[in-house]
Structure 1
Amino acid sequence: MKEHAQAMSMAVEKSSRRISVPFLGTLELPPSDQLAFLGGVVTLGVMGVVD
């Protein structure tokens, strides 16, 4: 069981991105598929499709 948790944490760590932002420090972004989904939801919200 412990091996599965370790493998999952390694997979998440490898699929996430870290960027350095001045004055804010280092930000960790979610994996690209989750980032695309969140971007789509935000876009629909801005367009007024989703309240």
Structure 2
Amino acid sequence: MPQLNPAPWFIILVFSWMLLLVILPVKVLTFILPNNPTPQNIQKPKMKAWNWPWY
């Protein structure tokens, strides 16, 4: 490939990066999830102290 003219390959590279960085993220971010995640309980459960019979 070094024998080829780099001008058309550079344009192909630029357009492919434009596709990946501009068009595709917009399409992915407009995707709506069927089930919205619900927040979980943020309170930590109280832990009981261990009873060590040999201590």
TM-score by length of 1: 0.35
Give the number of the structure whose residues are more often helix, by fraction: 1
Where relative contact order (Cα < 8 A, 6+ residues apart) is larger, the structure is: 1
Question: What TM-score does the superposition give when structure 2 sets the normalisation length?
Answer: 0.34
